[in-house]
Amino acid sequence: MTVTTITHIEYHCADAAQSATDLVTGFGFAPDARQPEPRPGLHSVHLHQGTIRLRLTSAAQPAHPVARFVERHGDGVAVIALGCTDPAASLERAVRHGARVLDRDAGLVAGFGDLALRFVADAPADPGADPGADSGAGPAAPGGALLDVLDHIAICVPAGELAAAVRFCEAALGFHRIFGEHIEVGAQAMDSSVVQSGSAAVTFTLIEPDTARQPGQIDAFLDAHEGPGVQHLAFRTHDIAAALRTFRGNGVEFLTTPSAYYDGLAERLGGTAIPVDVLRELDVLVDQDHGGQLFQIFTRSVHPRRTFFLELIERQGAGTFGTANIKALYEAVERQNAAAAL
């Protein structure tokens, strides 16, 4: 009954065809060889790259649950499908530890607010298989894929709910907490905990705002999203420089980083596996831990509410999450939000 992987992400949106086109043309995702059978009132598109699998769904009727999700939250992650050695046993464990059942036959329970969790079998399948079936992540996409795997999912929860969210992940899902800290960025602050499956293939970064400080971006997300939810998906790449040059050439916009950030890298880190002039050119952030270095960058949010965005991350031995880069990230987001308000 162990959770071993994320088989797919279900993304509810106003226009599945347009959202899929953006991911195909911008990030190089490929439509699955076998698309789902049409369902009345719904349009779904299945995409993959590496072992990342996405199901994008929109609804024609405003009363449909997919449309209601989008009306409340905007386009966003609605379901995380967890591959399990025994989906039925995993569902029962979650229920015993307080999970609310949404659809027992579909293995679906409430996770964080309107973000649901689906328990499915983790048996491997080809990239063209239906991610709604009992299927695993599948083999890496052939022929020049730049994105390899879903590295982690960042989930914002309301103030005071972080400890309960961690306990839920530990008791209901069998995860363990591997990291946590209090992060201060100027006058705002947040608390974060990272929980992970025993396989280390499923990682949630859980974040709550510190209400003793000034309201910040986590508060803004919770307000605009109308409750807890996924702030970003982090896609791991084996070559962040090549991925960035390709995606930028495809029209994807990423957050920029002040030049002064790179002036202090040599003193903070010593040498970097990717030359500093390349990092500066591409606005890539870098951090390191005892295992090595990681490189990361975040897309400029194109969400109308400026809530959801994507991360690219390359790990060269590092197992942590770029804590030292959080200040630079949030300063970049603040600049984006200030520019959008003009």
111 and 179 housed in the same domain:
no
pLDDT tens-digit series, residues 72-131: 999 999 999 999 999 999 999 999 999 999 999 999 999 999 999 999 998 654 444 444
Is residue 40 very low, low, confident or very high in pLDDT (cuts 50, 70, 90)? confident
- Angstrom distance (rounded) from CA 109 to CA 184: 34
Cα 131 to Cα 110, 120, 121, 156: the distances in Å are: 19, 10, 11, 25
Q: Which two tokens stand for residue 71?
A: 């009306």
DSSP states along 217-270 = HHHHHHHHHTSSEEEEEEEEES-HHHHHHHHHHTT--B----HHHHHTHHHHHS
Domain boundary among 118, 142, 166: 142
- We report the CATH number of the domain holding residue 121 as 3.10.180.10
DSSP states along 6-70 = EEEEEEE-S-HHHHHHHHHHHH--EE-SSPPPPBTTEEEEEEEETTEEEEEEEESSTTSHHHHHH
The closest of 281, 314, 252, 299 to 27, measured between CA atoms, is 252
Averaged pLDDT of the chain: 89
Decide: 48 and 8 in contact? Cβ < 8 Å. Answer: no
Domains in the chain: how many in total? 2
84 and 156 housed in the same domain:
no
108 and 252 housed in the same domain:
no
User: Phi then psi for 74, rounded to 5 degrees?
Assistant: 80, 175
Does residue 49 register a pLDDT over 60? yes
- Angstrom distance (rounded) from CA 303 to CA 198: 33
179 and 326 housed in the same domain:
yes
pLDDT tens-digit series, residues 139-173: 333 447 999 999 999 999 999 999 999 999 999 99
The pLDDT of residue 283: 95
- Angstrom distance (rounded) from CA 138 to CA 156: 29
Task: Read off the pTM.
Answer: 0.90
Residue type, 197: S
Decide: 148 and 234 in contact? Cβ < 8 Å. Answer: no
Range of the domain at 322: 148-341
110 and 130 housed in the same domain:
yes
Domain boundary among 142, 176, 209: 142
176 and 279 housed in the same domain:
yes
The pLDDT of residue 132: 45
221 and 130 housed in the same domain:
no
Percentage, residues of the chain above pLDDT 70? 87
Does residue 34 register a pLDDT over 90? no
Q: What is the mean pLDDT of residues 32-55?
A: 90
pLDDT tens-digit series, residues 204-219: 999 999 988 888 889 9
The closest of 65, 71, 121, 85 to 1, measured between CA atoms, is 85
Is residue 35 very low, low, confident or very high in pLDDT (cuts 50, 70, 90)? confident
120 and 231 housed in the same domain:
no
119 and 208 housed in the same domain:
no
- Angstrom distance (rounded) from CA 213 to CA 111: 27
94 and 222 housed in the same domain:
no
309 and 334 housed in the same domain:
yes
Domain boundary among 88, 112, 142: 142
132 and 281 housed in the same domain:
no
